[in-house]
Amino acid sequence: MGTLTVKDIDESNIDDAFRVCSHGKLDKPLQMEGMELRRRWLRKMIRDYGTCVKVAYIDEKPVAQLQFYPEEAVPFVPRQREGVILLQCVYNPFEEARGKGASTSLVKSLIEECRTSPKFLKGRECLFMTAEPFNTGEDIPMERFYTMNGFEEMGGEMVYKIKGAYAPPTKPAWSPENKDRGTATILFNPTCEYSYTFATRVRDTIENLYSALPVELINQWEKPETSMRLANHWLVVNGTPIKSGLKESEAFTQEIRQAVEKSR
């Protein structure tokens, strides 16, 4: 195998994050819009916290990435836990790089840094790290991957203890208002370029079903008050949270129709 190295993302190599996450789609117009949203977010995080992404390289080619940030940086989390790092994702999309230790090296690098007083916590101690497994279907289940790397399931998340006891997260309460009636609100997260492209496809699907229904896309980091009011539900139609995903096309369409028709 080639030489494996891990580097933090900064202004000099910021595009390497996209060479991993958006490989094969770097010139797609909608993907480019999502990438630009994430690039702006990355630059702000680099300014405020030093870094929030680690990239693994094999022979200088970026092959995997890990994205993380302090919970205190997330504006749509009520009562953020200080000294807690959220591991958002580990992504290793290249088949030729799997089994080479790239993903594990990324996690170990973050764990070791969290054992110090890391710059991304501004010198404070890290109490524990959490992760919510996100499976793309391209490799082993992330629940298994995190368990193999020392994480335990607690409070609905995977947890790696560093220097403190675990405390569960505080979730926002669901508080729909009259203004949510007769509209659809889609939340997207600029931390991932796919979130925006997915939200756009959902908007198009809803508009094809109900052309007169107003649909709004909301950036959770720019309008956290709206996100928390909707209890961070990714899609609310006519005051109703939608549970199905776009891939479950029949169930998704049925839920949309039921939500729209319930007040008619």
Q: Average of pLDDT values for 185-191?
A: 98
**Which of 161, 189, 205 is the C-terminal boundary of a domain?**
161
Q: What is the mean pLDDT of residues 6-32?
A: 97
Residue-number span of the structural domain to which 238 is assigned: 178-261
Confidence band of 2 (pLDDT split at 50, 70, 90): confident
Last residue of a domain, which of 119, 136, 161? Answer: 161
Distance CA 31, CA 17 (A): 14
Q: What is the mean pLDDT of the chain?
A: 93
User: Is position 168 within any domain?
Assistant: no
Q: Is residue 170 part of a domain?
A: no
Residue 1: pLDDT above 70?
Answer: no
Cα–chain center distance at 94: 20
Residue 172 inside a domain? The answer is no
- Same domain? For 9 and 99 the reply is yes
What tens digit of pLDDT does each residue of 158-177 get?
A: 999 999 899 999 999 888 78
The verdict on 23 and 148 lying in the same domain is yes
Say yes or no: 47 and 13 in one domain: yes
Number of domains in the chain: 2
Q: How confident is the model at residue 116 (pLDDT cuts 50, 70, 90)?
A: very high
Instruction: Place 99 in a pLDDT band, splitting at 50, 70 and 90.
Output: confident
Q: What percent of the chain shows pLDDT beyond 70?
A: 97
Instruction: Please report which helix (H) or strand (E) contains residue 137, including its range.
Output: none
Residue 167 lies in a domain: no
68 close to 192: Cβ distance less than 8 angstroms? no
12 and 106 together in one domain: yes
How does residue 98 score in pLDDT terms, banded at 50, 70 and 90? confident
More confident residue, 216 or 139: 216
Whether residue 115 is found in the same domain as residue 214? no
pLDDT of residue 137: 61
Same domain, 43 and 16: yes
pLDDT of 58 strictly over 60? yes
Phi, psi of 68 (to 5 degrees): -150, 165
Q: Residue 240's domain is classified under what CATH number?
A: 3.40.30
Between the two ends of the chain, the Cα-to-Cα distance in Å is: 63
Assign residue 140 the CATH number of its domain.
3.40.630.30
Q: What's the confidence (pLDDT) of residue 248? A: 76
What pLDDT score was predicted for residue 132? Answer: 85
Q: Do 210 and 155 share a domain, yes or no?
A: no
| 31 shares its domain with 131 | yes
Question: What pLDDT is recorded for position 178?
Answer: 83
Both 91 and 136 in one domain: the answer is yes
In this structure, what token pair is assigned to residue 103?
């993903």
Calculate mean pLDDT across residues 59-72.
96
Domain co-membership, 53 together with 118: yes
Last residue within a domain, chosen from 161, 186, 208: 161
State whether 83 and 191 are in the same domain: no
Lowest-pLDDT range of 35-44, 221-230, 255-264:
255-264
Q: Residues 123, 19: one domain?
A: yes
